[in-house]
Amino acid sequence: MATDTPGSQSALREANVRRVLRAVRTAGALTQAEIVRATGLSAATVSTIVRELQKGALVVVTPTATGRRAQSVSLSSLSGLAIGVELSQEHVRGVICDMGYRVLIEENIKYDSAQSPERGLRRVAWLVGTLLRQARVDRSQVRGVGVSVPGPLDPVTGGVRSGTLVPHWPGVDLTKELSRSVDLPVQLITDINAAALGELACGASRSAAEMVYIRLSTNVEAALVIKGEVYPGSSGLAGQFGHITVDESGQVCRCGNRGCLETLVGGPHLLDLLPRRSADEPPTLRGLVQDAIDGDRGSCRVIGDAGRAVGTAAAMLCNVLNPRQIVLGGELAQAGELLLDPIRQVLSRRTLRAAAELVEVRCGALGDRAGVMGALATVVRGTDGVDSLLA
Ligand SMILES: [Zn+2]
């Protein structure tokens, strides 16, 4: 696209096109009305720009999921492709998408975090190579690889902090080693922040400026979204929701403090509350949730009590952060309203009325894919590929 002297009509128009593309890239997909709100441009200007971008195949316009007349605008594959990788304790999951989060291919392979980092790097490189081959994608089309790791990350070394769930990774310069292994630029993100970013970019919280994502699983963690961005904290430790003290004389937590929320609602504690049915079959969170959905009173009680404890801690966050949404993820969130209702009840009692009336409490839309989609979103939201198309 031709450049011109600043202040001229064409320079202004180009700046407006960039604003529209950046808004769409950040949100994943927007209706034209949402683009108007995000950019401050007039409806007529947005409509003209979207029409021209669609003609040039830079954006794709599709009907929205709600089925109303509004249409959703997202970036096309002409803007490039991105890869997301989730490295967990048990698996490596990978996905290739275009800049509008349309999935080309997705794969999940086993991994044991007790093995050496070298083996982990080889697994990631093998998965990325396999995805590229199967999707018939050339490496030059890929803007980068976002990798989610069980965090937190050390902002100084760029690697995993010691004391995390992957015992052999601390001390490894992960960004450098992974970039070398996959032969592409790599962006790291902690798994909990990736899950929040996934819901923000293409899940339950599209375009939410203020959001708290809470994951209820074996551990209890949260991610804070402030002004549309995940907030890492001054040393990468923001969101340690599970270590909010809720009972000063309670059980000693794995962090060394007493009565943390995680000692009340962490997976192992919840499962200990249930009577053992069989010595051969250890209880699981998924089993607990299914029993509650099937109407088992004890399981419903365990999940209801967990919801009330989470609500107590979440109310503190609501009073401080005034979020628009609280999004629940992790195995326990599969309980749906059995968990959400008690959280809402406590929030309405313990949060300032205006803040409680505003906040929406809901489950994530992406389930266990939130992390890999969030890893991918680090590339989509960070890339300057869109801007280079205008040069
Ligand atoms: Zn703790």
Each residue's pLDDT tens digit, 65-112: 665 667 889 888 787 899 999 988 888 999 999 988 999 999 999 887
Distance 39 CA to ligand 1 centre (A): 42
Distances (CA, A) of 102 to 52, 373, 376, 380: 22, 11, 11, 12
Hey, what are 207's tokens? 């375009």
Distance 249 CA to ligand 1 centre (A): 13
Q: How confident is residue 224, by pLDDT bands cut at 50, 70 and 90?
A: very high
Distance 373 CA to ligand 1 centre (A): 28
pLDDT at 330 over 50: yes
Separation of alpha carbons 171 and 59, rounded Å: 42
Identify the sign of the CA torsion 262, 265, 268, 269. positive
- The reply to whether 79-197+371-390 and 204-364 are identical in fold is yes
Separation of alpha carbons 342 and 13, rounded Å: 51
Which of 33, 82, 118, 47 has the alpha carbon at shortest distance from 376?
A: 82
Hey, what are 306's tokens? 């967990």
Distance 380 CA to ligand 1 centre (A): 34
Q: For residue 127, what pLDDT is reported?
A: 95
Distance 154 CA to ligand 1 centre (A): 20
Residue in the structure block whose two tokens are 């990788």: 85
Q: For residue 76, what pLDDT is reported?
A: 84
299 touches 288 (CB < 8 A)? yes
Distance 259 CA to ligand 1 centre (A): 7
Residue in the structure block whose two tokens are 């991610």: 223
Distance 352 CA to ligand 1 centre (A): 26
Distance 218 CA to ligand 1 centre (A): 13
To the nearest whole number, what is the mean pLDDT of the chain?
88
* Whole-number percent of the chain with pLDDT over 70: 92
Query: Of all helices (H) and strands (E), which one includes residue 285?
Result: helix 285-293
Q: What is the mean pLDDT of residues 252-265?
A: 94
Separation of alpha carbons 357 and 330, rounded Å: 25
Distance 246 CA to ligand 1 centre (A): 10
Q: For residue 385, what pLDDT is reported?
A: 45
219 touches 88 (CB < 8 A)? no
Comparing 47-56, 231-240, 245-254, 285-294, the range with the smallest average pLDDT is 231-240
Phi-psi region of 244 (alpha: psi -120 to 50; beta: other; left: phi over 0): beta
Distance 89 CA to ligand 1 centre (A): 21
Distance 198 CA to ligand 1 centre (A): 26
pLDDT at 171 over 90: no
Q: For residue 193, what pLDDT is reported?
A: 94
CATH topology of domain 79-197+371-390: Nucleotidyltransferase; domain 5 (3.30.420)
N- to C-terminal Cα distance for the chain? 6
pLDDT at 260 over 80: yes
How many H helices and E strands in the chain?
14, 13
> Is residue 84 classed as helix, strand or coil in its secondary structure?
strand
pLDDT at 296 over 50: yes
- 170 DSSP 8-state letter: T
> Is residue 354 classed as helix, strand or coil in its secondary structure?
helix
Query: Of all helices (H) and strands (E), which one includes residue 164?
Result: none
Residue 115 Cα to chain centre, angstroms: 26
What are phi and psi for residue 327, nearest 5 degrees? Answer: -110, 130
Count CB-CB contacts under 10 A for residue 134.
12
CATH topology of domain 9-75: Arc Repressor Mutant, subunit A (1.10.10)
373 touches 95 (CB < 8 A)? yes
249 touches 258 (CB < 8 A)? yes
Which of 323, 292, 48, 290 has the alpha carbon at shortest distance from 196?
A: 323
Distance 164 CA to ligand 1 centre (A): 14
Distance 379 CA to ligand 1 centre (A): 32
Strands (E), the chain: 30-31, 59-63, 71-75, 81-87, 91-98, 103-110, 142-149, 186-190, 211-216, 220-226, 229-231, 325-329, 360-363
Q: How confident is residue 164, by pLDDT bands cut at 50, 70 and 90?
A: low
Which of 288, 338, 282, 284 has the alpha carbon at shortest distance from 310?
A: 338
170 touches 159 (CB < 8 A)? yes
Distance 251 CA to ligand 1 centre (A): 10
Q: What is the pTM of this model?
A: 0.86
- Beta-carbon contacts of residue 203 (< 8 Å; ≥ 6 apart): 327, 364, 365, 366, 370, 373
Partners of residue 289 on adjacent β-strands: none
Separation of alpha carbons 357 and 39, rounded Å: 27
Domain ranges in the chain are 9-75, 79-197+371-390, 204-364
Distance 245 CA to ligand 1 centre (A): 8
Distance 333 CA to ligand 1 centre (A): 21
Residue in the structure block whose two tokens are 């979020």: 323
Distance 302 CA to ligand 1 centre (A): 20
CATH of 204-364, one of 2.60.120.620, 3.40.190.10, 3.30.420.40, 1.20.58.220: 3.30.420.40
pLDDT tens string 199-213: 999 898 876 889 999
